[in-house]
Amino acid sequence: MTVSVRQVLESKGSTTYCVAPGVTAYEALALMAEHNIGGVLVTESDRLVGIFTERDYARKVVLKGLRSTEVQVRELMTPTPTVVGPEQTIDEVMNIMSEGHFRHLPVIEDGRIVGVISIGDVVKSVIDQQRRTIDHLSNYIAGDITT
């Protein structure tokens, strides 16, 4: 069975955390820490304009010796991030993440943000799929298969 992004969002929940471009890196990081997430979407008037992640912070603030309370997310975010749709498969998302070295992808449907899928979500989905396949094959071998 092929799993879609929509199915993953339904199982994990589609709560999406967003910040405005003018908030400080510190404020964005506080939100991320509060919700135990690795990235937030950056929006203006409900329109996706970027994504800000822990990686952005490490590379663009820490390594450059900037102060997180003084620099705005707009200066650090990845503008116009790669996005995926809810009908795309986990295999497609895994390829996009792997090729682009992304850990988080916004999910957009009909121009609206409907969630974020992370590499952790993808790995969990693949492991769950493999577990179901193993269980199915074990039952088949044992003669306990039901259709």
User: Tens digits of per-residue pLDDT, 41-99?
Assistant: 999 998 999 999 999 999 999 888 889 999 999 999 999 999 999 999 999 999 999 99
The CATH number that applies at residue 107 is: 3.10.580.10
147 domain-assigned: no
| Domain enclosing residue 97, as ranges | 5-141
147 pLDDT higher than 60: no
**Number of independent structural domains in the chain:** 1
145 pLDDT higher than 70: no
Give the predicted TM-score (pTM) of the model: 0.84
75 domain-assigned: yes
Q: What is the pLDDT of residues 29-49, one digit of tens each?
A: 999 999 999 999 999 998 999
50 domain-assigned: yes
What is the amino acid identity at position 10? E
In angstroms, the CA 125 to CA 7 distance is 10
